Structure 1
Amino acid sequence: MEVEAASGGTGEIRWSKLGTSLPVANVQALVASAGELTADQIERYVQPDIDAHAVLSEQSGEVPVIDLSNLLSSESVDAEVAKLRFACAEWGFFQVVNHGIPDDVITGIKHDIQKFFQLPLEVKNAYAQRPGDLQGYGQAFVVSDDQKLDWSDLLALFAQPTQGRDMSYWPSQPHTFRNSVEDYSMELMKLAQTLNVFIAKTLDVAPELLADKHVAQFLRMSYYPPCTSMPEKVLGFSPHSDGSFLTILLEINSVQGLQIRRSGAWIPVKPRHDALLVNVGDLLEILSNGKYKSIEHRVTINAHKERLSISAFHVPNYGGIISPILGTIEEKMLYKAVGVEEYARLYFANKLEGKKALDYAKLSGI
């Protein structure tokens, strides 16, 4: 499938204009050129609160696993829906196996993301973020010149709907990159649609109520270089919840680094080669009236190995409204209705800081 190299249209391209990030040094290039980094070079990346909560490594890998084939089977659907309800309510994360995305699509996107980040810096910089745009090659959530920085580089692309794409940000190297992203993006849209049907079932609401909650898709391809100097003091991504409805993550090279916050501690998530990792976003927490929680997560850094991943953030219509769905008349409403655009602007206007953005949607007294 050929992807046109034209500039995107208007309309949904506004999604990428909801924020911006200040330009900062390229971490991959810093690591490659500096050898053993000095304290001065790494100072802006050192996170003083990194050890504020314990890491429970012995609980690694306990994230619930949902088998999509069981959801699609009349004989096993009820039991699997119960598991999905538990995963969303108690963990906010789950791994999806038998997700139906063809192996060649997964292999293609993994190969091309690795190849892109291996390109010379001057080639990658041809797709650098521009002022006032979230897309492109660079970093994210850098809003001041003195904040601590994450130990990572990224490439962000608006992928769906197709009329919202700005192809000037889509790399032409490697030559298969655009087609790989197109194929993977389309498969994820189908998966998100299927998951939304069953999430609606877990909430005992009509699927139509969730049908428009995944119409836009933003992709973030992340590269986390190793840090030999003091890996225990830097983070690839600071603690945060996602401002999406649903996020779907693919580990590119199975290097562990993702940690989720549960019961006041960090739990490492062990990469699973046959699964995609899905997590509840802030907008689903609002819609479920807090029954499902968007969970804080962060990315730690390996001392010797690079880590790569691709996250797909699925969000509702730009002009939509997210309102809590109440299960009973007596149920207390915990969140106000919020505009998707206004929440996105708030989310992207600040540095990552846990679940602070969600405070905006909470009703007073909560």
Structure 2
Amino acid sequence: MEIEAPIIVASAGEGRWSQAGTTLPVSNVQALASSAGKLTADKIKRYIRPDIDAYEVLSEHSGEVPVIDLGKLLKPESAETEAAKLRFACEDWGFFQLVNHGIPEGVIANIKSDIQKFFQLPLDVKNAYAQRVGDLQGYGQAFILSDEQKLDWADMFGLFSQPPQARDMSYWPSQPPTFRNSIEEYSSELTKLARSVVTFIAKTLDVDLELVADKHVGQFLRMNYYPPCTSTPEKVIGFSPHSDGSFLTILLEINSVQGLQIRRGGAWIPVKPRADALLVNVGDFLEIMTNGKYKSIEHRVTINAHKERLSISAFQLPKYDGIVSPILGRTEEVLYKTMRVEEYAKLYMSNKRDGKRTLDHAKLSPI
């Protein structure tokens, strides 16, 4: 049985998440990649990253991203032990793989299939859902703020899916025909799952559930397509290093192509996802709320030379007109500001992806 957390009815302000920032239109990377034989250095110069090797990549690492079993968290005889593992994962890794998550296999199979079909559609069909000026939703890229900025080797399709009143249905594709239903089902299951996970996180912090009840009511789905790069895969990046401007993020790998790396101990560690797991990571808002106990970890996506990679990220977001404030122990020093969610969202959306730079604005002193 799922543990119930208080349910907050989101205000109309949730719709303003989509206007928190904007992005400039850029060329479609999938089409660029498909013309690999015609690529010139000039065509891809905005994608080449001279600093991509600034940190070591550990291909073989003694540690693995912790695995958390939701089923064990729900059973009284195993809840305490599993909760200790969850606390360790949030404190030490900022990431964990969640198994026995309860989302039906059919729901996952449908969203995977429809995302693959969507990115296989002709470019003119996908462009019918292109991002519009002043809106973060739609088909394109994210966080492009200048014409000189380096670009990620990826195409993305983003939708606000929760709460229902935040949706702009003009972005919801009619092709493939089952896509809208697949998004609705997957989004609804994720909402229930996020409520359970946040409930257990609150228990690891020994805080009242009311304090986290409005921290995950918004949901932005970002579907990611990373084409192969046959010419210089080692010099392009699928998604620039960043932490997530969310409370929690839940990632589903669509195919088995690896690419996600997390920064740990001054090096990049490749994540090897389990087929039966969802990958969950701490977002910036949770780091602020825990006064830095739980860390929002810098991560990036690398590119395969021969295979495309697809995934879908669900960013669970606080109420847009809410406040996030550190929860403190009796003798604990305050390290983070109390911030309006809207203020942080606008800061996050108006900066290019550059590690955890945005989160520095929330700190009262260097940590």
State TM-score, norm by structure 2: 0.96
Deviation at 1:205, TM superposition (A): 1.0
Spell out, residue by residue over 1:218-269, the C-alpha distance to the aligned partner (whole angstroms, 9 max, x if none).
0100000000000000000000000000000000011000000000000000
Is the contact made by 2:36 and 2:230 (CA closer than 8 Å) also made in structure 1? no
Match of 2:187 among 177, 185, 188: 185
Aligned equivalents of 1:122, 1:238: Cα separation in 2: 27
Structure 2 SS opposite 1:361: coil
Aligned residue in 2 for 1:254: 256
Aligned residue in 1 for 2:359: 358
Aligned equivalents of 1:271, 1:200: Cα separation in 2: 25
Is the contact made by 2:160 and 2:166 (CA closer than 8 Å) also made in structure 1? yes
Matches within 5 A, 1:154-303: 154-303=156-305
- Residue segments in structure 2 that go unaligned for 5+ positions in a row: 1-10
Is the contact made by 2:22 and 2:133 (CA closer than 8 Å) also made in structure 1? yes
Aligned equivalents of 1:364, 1:205: Cα separation in 2: 25
Match of 1:69 among 65, 68, 71: 71
Aligned equivalents of 2:83, 2:12: Cα separation in 1: 39
Spell out, residue by residue over 1:272-327, the C-alpha distance to the aligned partner (whole angstroms, 9 max, x if none).
11000000000000000000000000000000000000000001111000000012
Deviation at 1:271, TM superposition (A): 2.1
Aligned residue in 1 for 2:340: 339
Aligned equivalents of 1:12, 1:204: Cα separation in 2: 28
Structure 2 SS opposite 1:200: helix
Match of 1:29 among 23, 31, 52: 31
Which moved further from structure 2: 233-242 or 58-67? 58-67
Structure 2 SS opposite 1:58: coil
Is the contact made by 1:61 and 1:268 (CA closer than 8 Å) also made in structure 2? no
Structure 1 vs Structure 2 CA RMSD = 1.2
Alpha-carbon distance change, 253 to 61 in structure 1, aligned in 2, over 3 angstroms: farther
Spell out, residue by residue over 1:116-140, the C-alpha distance to the aligned partner (whole angstroms, 9 max, x if none).
0000000000000000000000000
Aligned residue in 1 for 2:8: none
Aligned equivalents of 1:44, 1:282: Cα separation in 2: 28
Deviation at 1:49, TM superposition (A): 1.0
Which moved further from structure 2: 222-231 or 197-206? 197-206
Aligned equivalents of 1:257, 1:159: Cα separation in 2: 26
- Structure 1 ranges of 4+ moved more than 4 A: none
Aligned equivalents of 2:286, 2:48: Cα separation in 1: 32
Deviation at 1:35, TM superposition (A): 2.3
Aligned equivalents of 2:61, 2:239: Cα separation in 1: 21
Is the contact made by 2:69 and 2:100 (CA closer than 8 Å) also made in structure 1? yes
Is the contact made by 1:24 and 1:139 (CA closer than 8 Å) also made in structure 2? yes
Is the contact made by 2:117 and 2:176 (CA closer than 8 Å) also made in structure 1? yes
Aligned equivalents of 2:231, 2:38: Cα separation in 1: 6
Is the contact made by 1:153 and 1:223 (CA closer than 8 Å) also made in structure 2? yes
The aligned amino acid for 1:226 is: P
Aligned equivalents of 1:95, 1:229: Cα separation in 2: 33
Aligned equivalents of 2:13, 2:297: Cα separation in 1: 31
Deviation at 1:60, TM superposition (A): 7.8
Structure 2 SS opposite 1:250: strand
Alpha-carbon distance change, 342 to 236 in structure 1, aligned in 2, over 3 angstroms: same
Deviation at 1:11, TM superposition (A): 3.6
How many residue pairs are counted as aligned between the two chains? Answer: 357
Aligned residue in 1 for 2:121: 119
Aligned equivalents of 2:77, 2:172: Cα separation in 1: 43
